[in-house]
Amino acid sequence: MATTTTTNQSGSSRALVNQQQVEKKLSSRLTKNKVLKWVFFACTLIGLIVLAALLIDTLIKGVPYLKPSFFTNFSSSMPSMAGIKGALVGTLWLMITIIPISIILGVGTAIYLEEYAKDNAFTSFVKISISNLAGVPSVVFGLLGLTIFVRGMGIESLSLGKSVIAAALTMSLLILPVIIVSSQEAIRAVPKSVREASYGLGGNKWQTIYKIVLPAALPGILTGFILSLSRALGETAPLILIGIPTILLRLPTGIFDMFQAMPIQIYNWAKMPQEAFQHVASAGIIVLLVLLLAMNGLAIFLRNKFSKKY
């Protein structure tokens, strides 16, 4: 009786599944998979070829101009005398000023929204607004920085002028949404059981955040911050809008001094009619790329280091 039942079930299963139709569909699916695989490979290859062509062209034009004098001279109207000293030092000043502003405001906001703020409609509105700000064009932040920081909203005592601090505050506004969102995601990824264990051992809210949550979320926070900082150092539109000079024959000595920036300097060289200035601009691009790659490498190193520790 049992054998007859099993045989009937096997027969009904074969009747329900048409092996010929399955094999036919499987063949078409495999063919489609191969086609899509090569389509995606072609897309990747096109991007790599374009990137390689740009890099090779930039290196061919710029490497001959990477001489010691290029790093010790200020900008000049003569291509052979043009250097990146002022722009490089000004960019370093800008970077050093942006770091504490954006870290304190960005990570502090993320901690409040994730650990302290109540889950209500207002908090949800703030989170959505911050996420939307990450997609706002950089020109808008440049106009905002010009109005609030450079001109002080028409109040002379609040005006910071075309200084390092005004540019740093403007660029911090630009990258803050990305830092806040990435920090929120990193803090949210820390398991609740870790927090509960800290509370069980007698730790209060701040001790748990400072000694448990932040160290565990540090790799994600650092990665988001350094990548955001890289974006800020490569932006040109906000700096143009707030009036950062293209030629300045002195170095800044403080955050309230005027300065040059590498993106502005490269842009100025690139729009010059002389062909030699295009090569000088390529040399400046190489220096900026090296700086950005070094920062991205630092982000990867710190992420791997703290990921292993925690």
What is the SS3 string spanning the chain? CHHHHHHHHHHHHHHHCCHHHHHHHHHHHHHHHHHHHHHHHHHHHHHHHHHHHHHHHHHHHHHHHCCHHHHHCCCCCCHHHCCCHHHHHHHHHHHHHHHHHHHHHHHHHHHHHHHHCCCCHHHHHHHHHHHHHCCCCHHHHHHHHHHHHHCHHHCHHHCCCCCHHHHHHHHHHHHHHHHHHHHHHHHHCCCHHHHHHHHHCCCCHHHHHHHHHHHHHHHHHHHHHHHHHHHHHHCCHHHHHCCCCCCCCCCCCCCCCCCCCHHHHHHHHHCCCCHHHHHHHHHHHHHHHHHHHHHHHHHHHHHHHHHHHC
Residue 1 pLDDT: 47
**Contact criterion met (CB below 8 Å) for 180 and 209:** no
- Report CA Rg, the chain: 28
pLDDT in tens, 170-202: 999 999 999 999 999 989 888 888 888 888 888
pLDDT in tens, 11-38: 444 556 667 776 667 777 888 888 899 9
Is residue 169 over pLDDT 90? Answer: yes
pLDDT in tens, 45-90: 999 999 999 999 999 988 888 888 888 888 888 888 888 988 999 9
More confident call, 39 vs 9:
39
pLDDT in tens, 113-148: 988 888 888 888 988 888 888 888 888 898 999 999
Is residue 293 over pLDDT 90? Answer: no
pLDDT in tens, 239-263: 888 888 888 888 888 899 899 899 8
Residue 17 pLDDT: 63
Residue 245 pLDDT: 86
